[in-house]
Amino acid sequence: MAEQLQRVFVPSAVEEGGNALSLGCFSSEQTAWGVLRSFLKKSDRMLLVSASVVVWDIDVIGEHGLTVLASLECKACPVCSRQTFWVDLENFSALCYGEACAAWVEESTHEPGVIDCGWPAMRYLKQTKSIEEAFKELFAIGDQIKAAGITGTGNIEASKAMLDEFEDPT
């Protein structure tokens, strides 16, 4: 006999006008996150403002049956400027789901009080003392890219040279 389902995981997104988009109901948290991440990769083609993954416990009446695993807000990416930068407000972390960008910010898992940020396209990694500093670092990279006229489809070698110049302004 099949094991009885005790909980379901529900990913969803909210459009700018307040319309909620349900992305399904899954028996595994891993599947729910996979579906949400795949959906967020398309967020620059929609007007999304937030997303979440919630858990519903089966056969529990009222609000006690609901647990919010993550609440995400959509922002413009500090590096690529697309509306693909998703910020987890509860466990602070942020990641750009934009194609070929993936800029990120998160609290260090190894050093308390340190904020890590990076831009994988250029293997850029920086540690800062605050979230504000981390965002300034990413905005500076984005500004340099825009100033150089380099876009997401631009030459990777030109991007690397620009980043090297940014890191060593001598």
Written as six digits, the tokens of 119 are 């831009």
Query: Is pTM beyond 0.95 here?
Result: no
* Mean pLDDT of the region 136-158: 75
What are the extents of the domains in the chain? 1-75, 99-170
What are the beta bridge partners of residue 116?
A: 106, 127
Contacts of 112 (CB under 8 A, 6+ apart): none
User: pLDDT by residue (tens digit) across 98-134?
Assistant: 888 999 999 988 888 899 999 998 899 999 999 999 9
